[in-house]
Amino acid sequence: MAGQLNDTVAAAGPARPADASTVRSARRADAGAVRAARRADAGAVRAARRADAGAVRLSQRDIDGLLLCGEHYGAPYDLLAAALRVAPDRLPAIVTRWRRTGYAATGRLGPGPGWCWLTRDGMTAAGLGFPATRPALARLAHIRAVLAARLWLARGQVWQDGQAWWHSERRLRAARPPGRTGHVPDAEIHWPSIAGSPYAGQVWAVEVELTPKPLARTTEIMTGLLSPMRYAVVVYLAAPAARPVVARAAAGLLTGERSQVAVRDLPESAFAPEPARRACWPGSGSSAR
């Protein structure tokens, strides 16, 4: 067998070197294939960069701000900037990014700063499940006052030491059993069961009053929130016009209930900033309108 194999090889004759032009053609083909592969890879990278260029990455601050807007129906720019701890002139760029994601809408809904609220996609992304509607004009003042109250309370040392958290009216209504009636507070404050906390395990109700109600109605709401031990404390934050009625209603409670109601003034931030007045015409003595 070996002899036959040798004879076959010998009959074939000595191996001849490859033609030079054939070698050059093969080399050119290989180089062209490498260049084509590199171009394809570069194109894929550029396409990936273009796709990523339109994406907006949300920080934890962005998430906190979107949740805040969703829980409070919307937020005015000045309070939203305070909540995010950014300078007011930085907020437009932040909400512009939210609009690019499709999660938020913005606009001027009345006098004062602009407002931001969540779209349907924003509600879905936040996992809130609330209707995605623009804040109602009739409720703008109340929505603002409640958010201002939240921010003001959260800045307190007692709040921070006790690690309290806010349960919004919107969440309370969403969790309410169908058909249940009765007053829903503007928010709840929950105090975790932390060792050393003077309010450990307590739940407080928060009521924000901008305008006075009839005394009988205010008293009915107070007693309803306190009985049967529904809340450990009811905090009323009232505007100057509403405080006298709230104070009278609290003074008329039974002694044991009276100590469970705290009446305080709303912070100044609860009220929309006054629009800047236009300059007076020389010698007119009044503002130009």
What mean pLDDT comes out for the span 108-118? Answer: 94
Q: How far is CA 231 from CA 26, 185, 203, 285, in A?
A: 87, 11, 6, 54
Mean pLDDT to the nearest integer, 183-203: 95
Class of domain 57-135 (CATH, top level): mainly alpha
Residue 2 has a pLDDT of 38
Query: What is the pLDDT at residue 35?
Result: 58
Task: Express each pLDDT in 44-56 by its tens digit.
Answer: 434 433 344 456 7
pLDDT band at 285 (very low <50, low <70, confident <90, very high): very low
Instruction: Give the Cα separation of 116 and 135 in Å (integer).
Output: 9
- Report helix, strand or coil for 4: helix
Q: What is the mean pLDDT of residues 73-77?
A: 97
The three state secondary structure string of 194-259 is CCCCCCCCCEEEEEEECCCCCHHHHHHHHHHHHCCCCCCEEEEEECCCCHHHHHHHHHCCCHHHHC
d(CA 95, CA 136): 20
**pLDDT for position 53:** 41
Which tokens is 259 given? 């100590």
Domain ranges of the chain: 57-135, 137-271
Stretch 164-187: mean pLDDT: 92
Mean predicted confidence (pLDDT) in 189-203 = 95
Do 126 and 70 contact (CB within 8 A), yes or no? yes
CA distance 117 to 246: 31
The predicted pLDDT at position 130 comes to 94
Residue 52, pLDDT score = 44
Pairing of strands 203-209, 233-238: parallel
Are 235 and 262 contacting, i.e. CB atoms less than 8 angstroms apart? yes
pLDDT of 256: 87
Residue 42 confidence (pLDDT) above 80: no
Q: In the predicted model, what is the mean pLDDT of residues 129-145? A: 95
Nearest to 123 by CA among 167, 82, 66, 75: 66
Tokens of 132: 């995605």
What average pLDDT does the structure give for the chain?
83
Residue 116's pLDDT band, with cuts at 50, 70 and 90, is: very high
Q: Which pLDDT band holds residue 248 (cuts at 50, 70, 90)?
A: very high
Segment 231-260 shows an average pLDDT of: 95
Residue carrying the six token digits 């404050």: 189
Tokens 């590199």 belong to which residue? 38
